[in-house]
Amino acid sequence: MKNNERIFIIGAGAIGKVLATFLQLEGKNVTLLRGSKPDQAAYTEKVTIELKDGTVVNALLNISGINNYDSLDGMVVLTTKSYANMSIAKALQPKMGNSSLVILQNGLNVELPFIQHGFTRIYRCVLFATSQVLSPAYIRFKPVKPSPIGIIKGNKGTLLSVVRQMHTDFFEFRSEENIQPIIWSKAIINSVFNSVCTLLETDNGIFHRNNKAQAVAKQLTAGCIAVARANGVVLDEEKIGEDLLMISRFSDGQMISTLQDIRQKRKTEIDSLNFAICDLAEELHMSDLVPGTRLLGELIALKSELSMAGSTQGEAL
């Protein structure tokens, strides 16, 4: 991979626009591709990013549709919602060639559609940052710590090149040799944030501010950690608790993505979080350890369903 390879970011949402802005400010050749609108005609959009200290940065981004390109020669970064991965894998497969795919999604097994479609260079990034859309072109971004990128299929040399290409002063990345424990740890933490914060309709800071919320989080994570261990991934319960509180402190005031999705009447990613953990638990005959995680996932699914049904009814009136 060349040092200034073209970077295609699929997903013109909260994370995609933030990353594209920071990369462009550092002189990178970056294009945003609309994952949900493959035939989108090319256009430019001025985007403003509000940082944690209140300062803002701006960039004029190039945005287009996937179908406008016969090949994606460079690096492809995926920031869309994970439920679209199968359709995106089908669309990308004939266009990728030897390009590297970097998946910026949290959750379990989100890379499987790309493995099934024969992608040869797949890298997983575990995201340690929150991004909230305040208006279509104005986004509040709060990083927690550098986001690790590891190998699913590929080699260390390409991994290091990927990290160099993506790393910016405002959105930091690092390489990670053993990414699976981090994937599991973050999936467990996200299953707590994305269900509890959404059902309470509160911000991410609730866990460091409220002892009862902390107790709920601890109860939920314990069973999930046992499932991870049975799946061959050993996690430190105390470390997960510390990370959960750290994320809560750093993203205090920020609304979790699942709550944003439901408020915008969009589908959520709960399938790759709560339900993915619980499905593995069922396969291992350990469902009795994660009843709370399953119940919260079902409530989120119902909340999302009711929200989207309300939207449909409103359009019909």
Cβ–Cβ under 8 Å, residues 79 and 10? yes
Domain that residue 297 falls in: 181-309
Does residue 100 belong to any structural domain of this protein? Answer: yes
- DSSP letter at 216? H
Cα torsion 258, 264, 267, 270 to 10°: value is 10
Picking from 160, 177, 194, the residue at the C-terminal end of a domain is 177
Residue holding tokens 């981090």? 182
- Structure confidence by residue, pLDDT tens digits, 119-138: 999 999 999 999 999 998 99
- Is residue 202 domain-shared with residue 302, that is, in the same domain? yes
> What pLDDT is stored for residue 4 in this prediction?
63
Are 208 and 121 within one domain? no
Please indicate, yes or no, whether residues 164 and 190 belong to a single structural domain of this protein.
Answer: no
| 3-state class (DSSP) for residue 208 | helix
* Residue 317 in domain: no
CATH number at residue 106: 3.40.50.720
The predicted-structure confidence for 82-91, as pLDDT tens digits, reads as follows 999 999 999 9
**Which has the closest alpha carbon to 43: 136, 121, 150, 117?**
136
What's the rounded mean pLDDT across residues 99-121? 96
- Of 98 and 210, the structure prediction assigns the larger pLDDT to 210
3-class DSSP state of 107: coil
Mean pLDDT of 162-180: 97
Q: Record the pTM.
A: 0.92
Give residue 310's pLDDT.
75
- d(CA 13, CA 48) in angstroms, rounded, equals 13
178 pLDDT above the threshold of 80: yes
Assess whether 162 and 215 both reside in one domain. Answer: no
- Examine the domain organization and report whether 87 and 198 are in the same domain: no
Integer Rg of the chain from CA: 19
Question: Which residue spans within 126-213 are E strands per DSSP?
Answer: 129-135, 138-143, 147-153, 173-175
pLDDT for 10-54, tens place per residue?
999 999 999 999 999 999 999 999 988 889 999 999 999 999 899
Q: Within this chain, do residues 173 and 194 fall inside the same structural domain, yes or no? A: no
Nearest to 104 by CA among 68, 130, 69: 130
- Residues 18, 128: one domain? yes
Tens of pLDDT, residues 225-234:
999 999 999 9
Q: Which of 137, 142, 121 is nearest to 1 (CA)?
A: 121
Query: Terminus-to-terminus CA distance in the chain, angstroms?
Result: 54
Q: What is the pLDDT of residues 298-311, one digit of tens each?
A: 999 999 999 998 75
Strand ranges (DSSP E) for 178-307? none
314 has pLDDT over 60: no
- Give me the number of domains the chain comprises: 2
Indicate the helix (H) or strand (E) that contains 219. helix 211-230
Q: What is the pLDDT of residue 315?
A: 36
Quote the mean pLDDT of the chain: 94
pLDDT in tens, 189-199: 999 999 999 99
- pLDDT at residue 151, as a whole number: 98
Give the span between the Cα atoms of 69 and 54, in whole angstroms.
37
Neighbours of 236 (CB within 10 A): 12
Asked if the structure places residue 142 within a domain, the reply is yes
